[in-house]
Amino acid sequence: MSDYSPSPTRMDSPRASPAGKGVHRAAGPGAAIFTLLVILSGLLVGHYVRLLPPIGSAEAILIDGLFQSMLGIAAAIFLLVLGALLYALVRFRRRPGHQGEGIPIRGSNRLELAWTFMPALIVFWLVAYSSQVLFRIHDHREDPLVVRVTARQFVWQFEYPAYNISSPELHVPAGSPVQLELVAQDVIHSLWVPAFRLKQDALPQVSTMLSFTATLPGEFPIVCAELCGAGHAVMRSLVVVHPPEDFSRWLEQQG
């Protein structure tokens, strides 16, 4: 691809389009200020715009950190593209009476390289950051409280094999690791605790695992995230996160 395809006759022609001048002027201080504003907005959005619910687990802290970074980067890229787009739409609009053509630029290898490698760099950084968070989520602490979760159309059931307890709600202590072993009795279901930012499918006759450490005492919704039939929408439950001492009291009450 040729960098520029300048046609001498055309360049010399007295087209005098205001658009033509704008192209060369664009890379001036205006562009620098715009870039700074975009980066600043990205930082502000990543830091202050909270779209996620309160943090209820140790895993949620990591995932939210990742999400906020991505939100900030996404906001910056969106503003960059939208800003350039709106600027172009205003600056290069056809003025009344102007019948000319645009400037015959066919491309630029340098720009192609730049906008291939810059996004690639961001992507690789995001992959590295996401992988790190993923490994830390999977990095389970020892001696968890094991809860067997059975999903069937359209109820959740939670069993505590160590205590011979069964409950329609999930009760866990704050601050200690919990491991759920999920299985479905009919179709695929998916256990989602938005407050924990965690979700795990429950598959028919195959056991799947989900580990977490709840941090915030309180009651949080559990919903089914995989379409499982007519009652899918109401296949809900609660996770009750107890302060540690209350949890042993709950266990005693059940036994």
Partner 1 sequence: MATDSARGRLIRHGARSWRDYFTFNTDHKVIGVQYLVTTFIFFLFGGLLALILRYELLDPQNTLDPAAYNAIFTLHGSAMIFLWVIPVMAGFANYLIPLMIGAADMAFPRLNALSFWLLVFGGLTILSGNFLGQADTGWTAYAPLSLQAPVGQTFWALGALFVGASSLIGAINFLVTIFTMRTSGLSLDRMPLFCWAIIATALIVLLATPVLSAALLLLVLERTLGMAFFSVESLGDPITWQHLFWFYSHPAVYIMILPAMGIVSEILPVFSRKPVFGYRAIAGSSLAISIMGFLVWAHHMFTTGMTPGTQITFMVTSMIIAVPTGVKVFNWLGTLWGGVLEFKTPLLFAVGFIAMFVIGGLSGITLASVPVDIHVQDSYYVVAHLHYVLFGGSVFAIFGGIYFWFPKITGRMYSERLGRLHFWLTLISFNLTFLPLHWAGLQGMPRRVAAYAPEFQPVNQVASVGAFLMGLSVLPFLYNLIVSWARGARAGSNPWRALSLEWQVASPPPLGNFASPPVVTHGPYEFGQPWPVPAGDAASG
Residues numbered 159 to 218 that lie near partner 1 (CB under 8 A) are 186-188, 190, 192, 194-195, 197-201, 203-206, 208-209
Min dist. Cβ of residue 115 to partner 1 (A): 4
Minimum Å distance from CB 90 to partner 1? 9
- Answer for which of 134, 163, 168, 254 binds partner 1 (CB under 8 A) is 134
Beta pairing partners, 57: 214
- State residue 95 phi and psi, 5-degree precision: -75, 150
Minimum distance from residue 185 beta carbon to partner 1 (Å): 11
Shortest distance in whole angstroms from residue 156 CB to partner 1: 14
Residues 75-114 that bind partner 1 (CB under 8 A): 77-78, 81-82, 84-85, 88-89, 92-94, 98, 100-108, 111-112
Tell me how far apart the alpha carbons of residues 97 and 107 are, in angstroms, rounded to a whole number.
28
Residues 6 or more apart whose CB falls under 8 angstroms from that of 4 comprise 105, 106, 108
Encode 153-183: b = buried (16+ Cβ within 10 Å), e = exposed.
Answer: bbbbbbbbeeeebebeebbbbbeebbbbbbb
Is the CB of 230 or the CB of 253 nearer to partner 1? 230
Piece in contact with partner 1 (CB under 8 A), picked from 27-35, 135-143, 157-165, 246-254: 135-143
For the four alpha carbons of 246, 250, 253 and 255, in that order, the dihedral sign comes to negative
Quick note: the x/- pattern for partner 1 over 35-74, rule CB under 8 A, is: ----------------xxx--------xx--xx--xx--x
224 and 191 Cβ atoms separated by less than 8 Å: yes
Nearer to partner 1, 50 or 249 (CB): 50
Nearer to partner 1, 24 or 164 (CB): 24
In the bound complex, what is the minimum distance in angstroms from residue 117's beta carbon to partner 1? 9
Does 233 help bind partner 1 (rule: CB under 8 A)?
yes
One-letter amino acid at 135 equals F
Question: Applying CB under 8 A, which part among 37-45, 125-133, 161-169, 242-250 lies near partner 1?
Answer: 125-133
The minimum distance between CB 12 and partner 1, in angstroms, equals 11
Residue 154 CB contacts under 8 Å (≥ 6 apart), including other chains: 224, 228, 229, 230, 231, 232, 234, 235
- In the structure encoding, which two tokens stand for residue 80, read together? 């960059």
DSSP state, 203? B
